Amino acid sequence: MHAPVLRVLGWRRSSVTKIGVVVFPGSNCDHDALHAINEILHIPAESIWHQSQDLSGFDAVILPGGFSYGDYLRTGAIARFSPVMNAIARFARSGGLVLGICNGFQILCEAGLLPGALMRNQGLRFICRHVHIRVETTATPFTSAAPHGQVLRLPIAHAEGSYVCDAATLADLKRNDQIVFRYCAPDGRLDPTANPNGSLDAIAGICNYDRNVMGMMPHPERAVEAALGSTDGLFVLHSLVLSLARQPAAAVS
- Just list the catalytic residues: 102, 219, 221
Residue type, 90: R
Q: Residue 94 contacts by C-beta under 8 Å, 6 or more apart in sequence?
A: 250, 251, 252, 253
Inter-residue contact 20 to 46 (CB < 8 Å): yes
Q: Cα separation of 171 and 124, whole Å?
A: 27
Residues belonging to the chain? 253
